[in-house]
């Protein structure tokens, strides 16, 4: 594998791309990657695990040799339990070393499918059925962390394809007084229930027993992702997708033996799996797993800077809400000079938070952009060059990312001019082969004049004269709350089950902390009455995701519609923007009129008309907390 790539500008990227990608690395699948790293970095630490995420607790360390051996045992156990190369091992797990063994062992035996353990049971069931999971890895019953096993047990019998469940007992990582718990079940109907560690211990750890020759084009994994329909979309990745992404990330971020990357994001998401996983494993760096729940743990962020100091963390990746919370956690006397970069993705970073974080910590933030369908990351501000605040940066080497103008038939008519708003499309080794279900692919691809397929990201943006990309809104209606994708349809469907509701439209409202929060506008049925407070209470139980429960519900007489009768959501987003910015200014004693609308450069813009010019700086300070573009006028 070649060394790091110094990316300063678009010319550097073009120069790198003059050499064929095949000359950049030699491995063709994720198991081969781990095999190579085990030989090169055998005794180095691959994983350092802190169960509670506390800076002063004992750490569990897994060497590269140990990671390879346990991954191999997992693959062999999965194969013995009936998994073929085209069959699916699903996992419903928090962040554990065993989660990594499951992911990479699952990819060596068959196909691994990630499932968010925070989802409600029916959503978990829907995903398990969609991927046709044959084997499931999850936690066993644990009085110290009740809930997950109960979720899985409640729906396991409704998954027709499921044959085996492997339970992980996490009590070994906690206080000695907590005795290991065993499951009372050996079967759930026809499903066999076994212990994860016991089954792995039966297998050799030096070779694959299934004799499989893993091809680059074989599907390695499946991740569920938000979409514009109620059902989750399932995005498969090939081995070639993941190996390329690991090389790209490790090279651009200069990962190497002796460097440490903190993992606080969940391992059911591509960011944690690849940015704080496979990329390090390719380069011999160390992954610090900060807590079973990562950033969601109440203990991780208060001691974050001490974690950085103790383990000499060089990099971490987080969403904007984490950076906002860290502003309230002083570094104190902690030595954080080891930090090189902090990476931000998943949602736009408020400029005020960006600047304050860098000023307080001295740590450089690299803002980027990617999506599950693009394996993980596709655009990033160059580590060795200018970081343009508000921009997502430059396309990463060997990835084609363009802004295009579509013709009347939905195909690419031409590339957008410099500064012109266009649709963000992708092509290259990062792009997934297509959604699992055929109907989900109908709007996923755009064809150019040469009949080549491009991935339609659903996002709008513009490119400046130096190749930096600036997002200008989303063509999709997804709401992004602190980096978590929320499908508005699940909110709308839930509220329409209320007997008084005729129509519902959910949109994202700007939020100083989470970037966006869901709000909803409803029209009542003729002759029916209810209150907004009653609908809020109803939504808390009816909406299947806690994060998706709307923060505000407004009862309106009519909803804005297009000429063909479709609800026109941009008008609702403008209204939500006007409402929240007007309220926050008013609550801070600033008299202003807020008018939101479309903008050719930024997608949505809020124009703020101040009644008193003397309040200009105060208004600027308050509005700087929001990601929505705004303009002050006195």
DSSP string, 145-159: STTHHHHHHHHGGG-
The distance from CA 454 to its chain's CA centroid, rounded to whole angstroms, is 22
pLDDT > 80? residue 473: no
pLDDT > 60? residue 500: yes
Whose tokens are 């910015």? That residue is 581
* Closest C-alpha among 275, 235, 305 to residue 368: 275
Dump pLDDT digits (tens) for 155-200.
999 999 999 999 999 988 986 555 555 566 789 999 999 999 999 9
pLDDT > 80? residue 339: yes
Whose tokens are 């992004």? That residue is 480
Over residues 54-81, the mean pLDDT reads 97
Over residues 560-566, the mean pLDDT reads 64
Share of the chain above pLDDT 90, in %: 68
Please report which confidence band the pLDDT of residue 442 belongs to, taking 50, 70 and 90 as the band edges.
Answer: confident
CATH 3.40.50.12780 assigned to domain 10-380? The reply is: yes
- The domains of the chain are located at 10-380, 395-474, 479-559, 570-633
For residue 203, the model assigns a pLDDT of 98
Token pair of 520, please?
């909803």
**395-474 and 570-633: same fold?**
no
For residue 227, the model assigns a pLDDT of 38
Over residues 542-550, the mean pLDDT reads 89
For residue 168, the model assigns a pLDDT of 95
Q: How far apart are CA 368 and CA 360, in angstroms?
A: 21
For residue 261, the model assigns a pLDDT of 98
Please report which confidence band the pLDDT of residue 633 belongs to, taking 50, 70 and 90 as the band edges.
Answer: confident
Mean pLDDT of the chain: 90
pLDDT > 70? residue 228: no
Is 243 in contact with 33 (CB distance < 8 Å)? yes
pLDDT > 80? residue 601: no
Over residues 273-291, the mean pLDDT reads 97
Please report which confidence band the pLDDT of residue 347 belongs to, taking 50, 70 and 90 as the band edges.
Answer: low
For residue 598, the model assigns a pLDDT of 80
Q: Which class is 479-559 in CATH?
A: alpha beta
Please report which confidence band the pLDDT of residue 624 belongs to, taking 50, 70 and 90 as the band edges.
Answer: confident
Please report which confidence band the pLDDT of residue 486 belongs to, taking 50, 70 and 90 as the band edges.
Answer: confident
Q: How far apart are CA 280 and CA 506, in angstroms?
A: 39
User: Which alpha helices (H) appear in 506-587, and where do they start and end?
Assistant: 532-542, 569-587
Q: Domain 570-633 adopts which CATH fold?
A: GMP Synthetase; Chain A, domain 3 (3.30.300)
pLDDT > 50? residue 348: yes
pLDDT > 50? residue 499: yes
Over residues 433-454, the mean pLDDT reads 91
Distances in whole angstroms, Cα of residue 505 to Cα of each of 454, 490, 496, 529, 548: 30, 10, 10, 18, 13
Q: Options 1.10.10.1590, 3.30.830.10, 3.30.70.360, 2.30.38.10; which CATH number does 395-474 get?
A: 2.30.38.10
pLDDT > 60? residue 549: yes
For residue 2, the model assigns a pLDDT of 45
For residue 221, the model assigns a pLDDT of 98
Whose tokens are 């907004």? That residue is 532
Over residues 77-96, the mean pLDDT reads 97
Does the pTM surpass 0.85? The reply is no
pLDDT > 70? residue 19: yes
When mean pLDDT is compared across 118-127, 152-161, 290-299, 316-325, the lowest value belongs to 316-325
For residue 183, the model assigns a pLDDT of 61
pLDDT > 90? residue 481: no
Token pair of 134, please?
């044959």
Tell me the helix, strand and coil percentages in the chain, rounded to 5. Answer: 30, 25, 40
pLDDT > 80? residue 240: yes
pLDDT > 60? residue 252: yes
Token pair of 530, please?
């209810």
Q: Report angle CA 471, 516, 587 to the nearest 5 degrees.
A: 120
């Amino acid at each position: 594998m070649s060394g790091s790539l110094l990316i300063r500008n678009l010319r550097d990227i073009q120069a790198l791309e003059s050499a064929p990608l095949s000359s950049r690395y030699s491995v063709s699948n994720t198991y081969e990657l781990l095999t190579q790293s085990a030989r090169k970095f055998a005794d180095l630490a691959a994983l350092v695990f802190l169960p509670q995420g506390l800076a002063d607790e004992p750490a569990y360390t897994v060497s590269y040799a140990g990671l390879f051996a346990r991954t191999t045992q997992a693959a062999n156990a999965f194969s013995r339990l009936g998994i073929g190369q085209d069959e699916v091992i699903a996992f419903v797990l928090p962040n554990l070393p065993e989660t990594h063994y499951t992911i990479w062992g699952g990819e060596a035996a068959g196909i691994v499918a990630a499932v968010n353990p925070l989802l409600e049971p029916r959503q978990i069931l829907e995903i398990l059925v969609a991927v046709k999971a044959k084997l499931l890895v999850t936690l066993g019953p644990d009085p110290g962390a009740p809930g997950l096993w109960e979720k899985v047990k409640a729906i396991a019998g409704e998954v027709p394809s499921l044959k085996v469940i492997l339970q992980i007992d996490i009590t070994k990582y906690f206080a000695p007084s907590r005795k290991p718990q065993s499951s009372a079940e050996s079967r759930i109907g026809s499903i066999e229930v076994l212990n994860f560690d016991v089954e792995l211990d039966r297998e050799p750890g030096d070779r694959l027993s299934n004799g499989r020759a893993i091809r680059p084009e074989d599907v390695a994994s499946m991740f569920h992702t938000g979409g514009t329909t109620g059902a989750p979309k399932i995005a498969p990745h090939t081995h070639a997708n993941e190996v390329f992404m690991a090389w790209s990330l490790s090279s651009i971020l200069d990962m190497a033996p002796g460097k440490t990357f903190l993992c606080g994001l969940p391992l059911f998401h591509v960011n944690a799996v690849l940015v704080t996983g496979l990329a390090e494993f390719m380069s011999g760096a160390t992954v610090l797993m900060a807590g079973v729940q990562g950033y969601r743990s109440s203990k991780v962020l208060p001691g974050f800077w001490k974690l950085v100091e103790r383990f000499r963390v060089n990099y971490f990746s987080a969403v904007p809400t984490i950076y906002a919370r860290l502003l309230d956690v002083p570094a104190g006397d902690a030595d954080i000079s080891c930090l090189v970069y902090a990476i931000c993705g998943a949602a736009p970073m408020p400029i005020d938070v960006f600047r304050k974080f860098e000023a307080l910590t001295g740590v450089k933030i690299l803002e980027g952009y990617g999506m599950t369908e693009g394996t993980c990351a596709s655009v990033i501000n160059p580590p060795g060059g200018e970081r343009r605040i508000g921009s997502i940066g430059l396309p990463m080497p060997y990835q084609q990312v363009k802004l295009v103008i579509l013709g009347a038939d939905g195909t690419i008519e031409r590339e957008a001019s410099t500064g012109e708003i266009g649709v963000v499309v992708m092509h290259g080794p990062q792009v997934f082969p297509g959604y699992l279900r055929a109907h989900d692919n109908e709007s996923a691809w755009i064809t150019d004049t040469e009949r080549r397929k491009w991935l339609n990201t659903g996002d709008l943006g513009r490119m400046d004269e130096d190749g930096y990309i600036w997002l200008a809104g989303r063509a999709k209606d997804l709401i992004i709350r602190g980096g978590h994708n929320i499908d508005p349809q699940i909110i709308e469907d839930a509220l329409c089950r209320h007997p008084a509701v005729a129509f519902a439209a959910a949109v994202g409202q700007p939020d100083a902390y989470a970037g966006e929060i869901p709000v909803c506008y409803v029209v009542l049925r003729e002759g029916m009455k209810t209150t907004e407070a009653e609908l809020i209470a109803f939504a808390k139980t009816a909406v299947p995701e806690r994060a998706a429960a709307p923060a505000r519900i407004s009862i309106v007489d009519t909803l804005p519609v297009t000429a063909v009768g479709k609800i026109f959501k941009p008008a609702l987003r403008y209204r939500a923007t006007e409402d929240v910015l007007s309220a926050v200014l008013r609550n801070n004693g600033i008299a202003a009129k807020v008018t939101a609308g479309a903008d050719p450069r930024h997608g949505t813009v809020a124009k703020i008309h101040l009644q008193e010019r003397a309040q200009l700086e105060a208004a600027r300070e308050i509005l700087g907390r929001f990601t929505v573009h705004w303009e002050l006028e006195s």
